[in-house]
Amino acid sequence: MLDLPLPASHLAIAIAISAAAAAVQGTIGFGYAIVAVPLLSLLDPRLAPVPQILTSVPLTVLAAWRERGHVDLASVGWILLGRIPGLLLGVWLVTVASTRTLDLLIGGFVLLAVLLLSTRVRVRRTRAVDFGAGSLSMIMGYTTAIGGPPLALLYQDARGATIRSTLGVLFAVGVTLSAGTRAATGQITRLDVTLGIVLLVPVLLGLWGSRLLHDRIEGPPLRLAVLLLSGAASAGLLVRAWLGP
């Protein structure tokens, strides 16, 4: 049996949150980390963000494969190219940042994303914008596991299948780079791996369950719930960082 230094109640809540967050991502194309990381960080800092990076690898690969015929190949290359400088900056931030600073990063990035997505800001697509979004997404993804908002902004007016498949490809590459780099630099603990294994089953079940939803829900009602939940969680993290030692 797996010996986890966590209360059983915390683990049960983490399993439920992970399944629900994966179902959200499978339905609208993003949302796994933006829902799971703030909530799990508030529940117990050991539950995030590394376990979400690890479980995101199979989640995003399967999501991309499921609707692979709808990938936006024209823009993927420039976004992926932008991930290179983003990865380097992300590695540096994790090296120098304290837990409190990462709380501020997670809370601030999520709150900013919520505000941007709520206003439905329109972004004029150019190669430079795609490159910049790829860089910012990689920085956020490496430091906090939340790399979706910049890319969701780019594709917010695309059809559901295009959003889900394209973001799936981009996330799959991003989280694989994040997981590999963290492993190579000793930033993944035994507990992170154990939690990743435990949470993988509910994550895959959540993705499977999203098949019943993604053709019926076109995004706005579910996205509103994601934004409200994420906004509340990010505010909680910012308060904890402000009041912490």
pLDDT tens by residue, 24-80: 999 888 889 989 998 998 899 999 999 999 999 999 999 999 999 999 998 999 999
Percent of the chain residues past pLDDT 70, beyond the cut: 96
Rounded to an integer, the average pLDDT of 74-92 is 95
**pLDDT for the residue numbered 245:** 62
pLDDT, the chain, mean? 88
pLDDT in tens, 112-145: 878 877 877 777 889 999 999 999 999 989 988 8
Supply the DSSP symbol for 145: S
Report the b/e string of 160-182 with b at 16+ CB within 10 A: bbbbbbbbbbbbbbbbebbbebb
Task: Compare 40 and 221 and report the one with higher pLDDT.
Answer: 40
pLDDT band, very low/low/confident/very high, at 237 (cuts 50, 70, 90):
confident
Lowest average pLDDT, out of 14-28, 139-153, 197-211, goes to 139-153
Task: Kindly report, residue by residue over 140-162, the tens digit of the pLDDT.
Answer: 899 888 888 889 888 877 888 89
Helices (H) and strands (E) in the chain, counts: 10, 0
Residue 231: the pLDDT is 83
Local confidence band at 205 (pLDDT 50, 70, 90 cut-offs): very high
pLDDT of residue 218: 61
* The predicted structure's pLDDT at residue 77: 94
Length of the chain in terms of residues written: 245
What per-residue confidence (pLDDT) applies to 58? Answer: 96
| Domain parsing of the chain, residue ranges | 8-243
Q: Confidence class of residue 188 from pLDDT cuts 50, 70 and 90?
A: very high
Is the torsion defined by CA of 89, 95, 99, 101 positive or negative? Answer: negative
Question: How far lies 35's CA from each of 19, 64, 80, 176, in Å?
Answer: 11, 20, 24, 20
- Give me the pLDDT at residue 190, please: 93
In this prediction, residue 207 carries a pLDDT of 96
Cα(113)–Cα(116) distance, integer angstroms:
5
* Low-confidence winner among 94-103, 127-136, 216-225 (lowest mean pLDDT): 216-225
